[in-house]
Structure 1
Amino acid sequence: MQGSVDVGHLVDRHPKVTPDRLIAQLTPPPTFADVSFDTYLPDAAEPTQAAAVQVCRQFCAQAVERRAGKKKLFGRREVLPGVGLYLDGGFGVGKTHLLASSYYELPEPKAFATFGELTQLASVFGFVECIELLSDYVVVCIDEFELDDPGNTTLISRLLSQLVERGVSVAATSNTLPEQLGEGRFAAQDFLREINTLAAIFTTVRIDGPDYRHRDLPAAPEPLSDNEVATRAARTPGATLDDFDALCAHLATMHPSRYLTLIEGVSEVFITGVHGIDDQNVALRLVSLTDRLYDAGIPVVASGSKMDAVFSEEMLAGGFRKKYLRATSRLLALTAAGQTGRTIT
């Protein structure tokens, strides 16, 4: 049995993210570091999954052709617009697996970012500088495409439109069709032009199927007691132990783009006193942290409420419903891994 170790706390960490670090982390998360089209296993009962693999392969071939341009006289090449691919589907059908596989299939330079990382990149470097930074890329892959406010709608619409015009291809995943982005979150009709511009960039591919994270998993693990959580944390090298409310308050002190650095080097996250949330801002920050934990494959062990009861029924009925459902799905996988030792995939 392992002896007791000094337990760190996420609330004691105050990460900084430099511009160079932002660029360096534009790669698929660790849980998708070794994926490929060949390792994607389509469900035989869901033909859209096998079809999506073929479309992704075609997209990669087209992206290379578009980046090369069209040969003209005197050895010059005409810049051709990039192509767009939009993988739409429910939770856990393998969209990120296919997106990461597309990234690995394509040559450098290329980028893989969450939607939040992309908006942060634009805010750090500036809109014009961000376009110049990415304009020579073969592809920009965007995981979990979200448009949560009018500013992001306009920013990302213009950014992607100009990148595509310069020959950059764009692949994205989401649980919402492009023409429906922003519905229920703000006055989408006021930004219809921007949303339609985004929709025009992409060819949408629907992927159906059940959430693979719930296969062979219980609905939600029974939470441990506070003492059990603290005892296990003390026996786990590289673990962190935090009170739920204190952790949520700490997340509010930094931009979500820093959450990846916040959990860097952590082996397992232990949390006491988990309870339901009724504050939208707190909930969205928890969603962002959950995404980073899931991407990094870091298990979670918690006391208090079950993880499928964190987001209120009112929230699950609101405009961020799909985001909260995705987070719940991932929290269940993280806590199941924490209690059973299963690998997070």
Structure 2
Amino acid sequence: MNLPGAYRQRVADGLLKEDPAQFEALEILEDLCSRSQAGENRLGGLGRLLGRRSNEPGGGLYLWGGVGRGKSMLMDLFYEHLPVRRKKRTHFLEFMQSVHTDLHRIRKREVTDAILPAADAIANKASHLCLDEMQIDDIADAMIVGRLFKRLFERNVTVVTTSNRPPDELYRHGLNRHLFFPFIKLISNRMTVHEIGGGDDHRRGRLADRQTYFVPADRAAQKGIDGIWDQLTQGRMGSLVLTVKSRRVELQSFANGAARVDFSNICGMPYGPADYLAIAGAVRVLVVENVPLMCRANHNEAKRFVMLIDALYDSGVMVVMSAAAVPEELHQGGGGAFEFERTSSRLAEMQSSEWGAVLE
């Protein structure tokens, strides 16, 4: 079954709502699939085994559009039906963190230009890269991504990436942005740039008119959250690993821009504002389960919970939560009760159907 056929089947099964803009993007992805299949056939089994590529230049698709327009879903559908063996799908931030790790290791060997062997290692493992949620805020990423992608394209790697921004708005207010311009030009020259315009935020649509804050955090709450999670992820499952100031921050359940964690694993860990900002920048929906009552006994966890909600609020992230009490009754007094009033107010606001409309 080709990509349009698979998409129509999901619509027929009630898993998706048909969207003409999504279907237009899907036709571009189907063309990529067909060309990839032709390349595999020309190489033959021995060529695939040896990791050889055709002589066609690398390129791909830069798919951008508003939050919740289905970009990640379309890329996942493409990845599932991509008829090649050497392929990789990952979050862009996770990809860049792994690149920095490789560069650090390679530089220990006193290599003149570490980008080349790092890119070659990627190309040897994957002829097709699917990178979700491209965003470039870090100068360290901005200064290497252009040369990295240039080398990948020279090695005939096909890249499909999603983003909320068009290429010329990447790293918009970054330091030394003029050094980043060659990467923008590279995207325009080597990749098809396509916008999924207009339409609804399908991720929000899946949560519309649904309960997203469950009290108490019991078996019924877990069942309700399981239903929401299945709708958000459509059965997919992965993980997201972030590196923040050399620290590892892992979200073990992550798919389609949504992450699911237990309170103890996100507020019981020694995380700080930078960690929560990184999480908020990497997800569009965060499911937090088993939020307890806040009191003197868990004062540190309560402080981290405040930092987490602040980061999610400022980033316009949707929140699904199971808790021991409604927001205004979560804090039982003691240290931090006054500061928690803002958190309670924000939690209540984040449950409204209008939440995030202005931010988007």
The TM-score bracket by the shorter chain reads 0.5 to 0.7
Residue 130 of structure 1: aligned partner: 118
Q: Could you tell me how far 1:267 is from its partner in structure 2? A: 7.9
Residue 73 of structure 2: aligned partner: 97
Q: Does residue 56 of structure 1 match 2:29? A: yes
1:189 to 1:337, Cα distance in 2 relative to 1, 3 A = farther
Q: Which runs of 5+ in 2 are unaligned?
A: 45-51, 104-114, 223-242, 295-304, 326-360
1:143 to 128, 132, 137: 132
Q: Could you tell me how far 1:122 is from its partner in structure 2? A: 1.2
Q: What is the alpha-carbon distance in structure 1 between the residues aligned to residue 98 and residue 245 of structure 2?
A: 19
Q: What's the CA shift string for 1:210-245, capped at 9, x where partnerless?
A: 112222525984575xxx55xx49x98xxxxxxxxx
TM-score after normalising by structure 1: 0.59
Q: Could you tell me how far 1:299 is from its partner in structure 2? A: 5.3
Q: Could you tell me how far 1:287 is from its partner in structure 2? A: 1.6
Tell me which amino acid in the other structure corresponds to 2:102: F
Aligned length: 255
- The higher-RCO structure (CA 8 Å, 6+ apart) is 1
Q: What is the alpha-carbon distance in structure 2 between the residues aligned to residue 163 and residue 273 of structure 1?
A: 36
Q: What's the CA shift string for 1:45-89, capped at 9, x where partnerless?
A: x42111111111111222344567799xxxx98622122101111
TM-score after normalising by structure 2: 0.57
Residue 91 of structure 2: aligned partner: 114
Q: Which runs of 5+ in 1 are unaligned?
A: 1-34, 237-250, 316-323, 340-345
Q: Secondary structure at the match of 2:68?
A: coil
Q: Contact 1:88 / 1:173 at 8 angstroms: preserved in 2?
A: yes
Residue 196 of structure 1: aligned partner: 185
Q: Does residue 335 of structure 1 match 2:321? A: yes
Structure 1 segment 58-73 matched on structure 2, within 5 A: 58-65=31-38
Residue 161 of structure 1: aligned partner: 150
Q: Secondary structure at the match of 1:146?
A: coil
Tell me which amino acid in the other structure corresponds to 2:92: F
Tell me which amino acid in the other structure corresponds to 1:202: M
Q: What is the alpha-carbon distance in structure 1 between the residues aligned to residue 80 and residue 324 of structure 2?
A: 30
Q: What is the alpha-carbon distance in structure 1 between the residues aligned to residue 25 and residue 210 of structure 2?
A: 29
Residue 310 of structure 2: aligned partner: 310
1:39 to 1:288, Cα distance in 2 relative to 1, 3 A = farther
Q: What's the CA shift string for 1:183-217, capped at 9, x where partnerless?
A: 13445334222332233332112113211222252
Q: Which has the larger radius of gyration?
A: 2
Residue 26 of structure 1: aligned partner: none
1:148 to 1:289, Cα distance in 2 relative to 1, 3 A = closer
Q: What is the alpha-carbon distance in structure 1 between the residues aligned to residue 182 and residue 213 of structure 2?
A: 47
Question: Percent sequence identity over matched residues?
Answer: 21
Q: Contact 1:223 / 1:302 at 8 angstroms: preserved in 2?
A: no
Q: Secondary structure at the match of 1:203?
A: strand
Q: Secondary structure at the match of 1:111?
A: strand
Tell me which amino acid in the other structure corresponds to 1:60: C
Q: What's the CA shift string for 1:261-284, capped at 9, x where partnerless?
A: 599xx985136999xxxx973542
Q: Does residue 285 of structure 1 match 2:284? A: no
Tell me which amino acid in the other structure corresponds to 1:81: P
Q: What is the alpha-carbon distance in structure 2 between the residues aligned to residue 337 and residue 80 of structure 1?
A: 54
Q: Contact 2:58 / 2:156 at 8 angstroms: preserved in 1?
A: yes
Tell me which amino acid in the other structure corresponds to 2:93: G
Q: Could you tell me how far 1:285 is from its partner in structure 2? A: 2.3
Q: What's the CA shift string for 1:108-161, capped at 9, x where partnerless?
A: 111111111211221222233432222242200000001112221232221121
1:338 to 1:129, Cα distance in 2 relative to 1, 3 A = farther
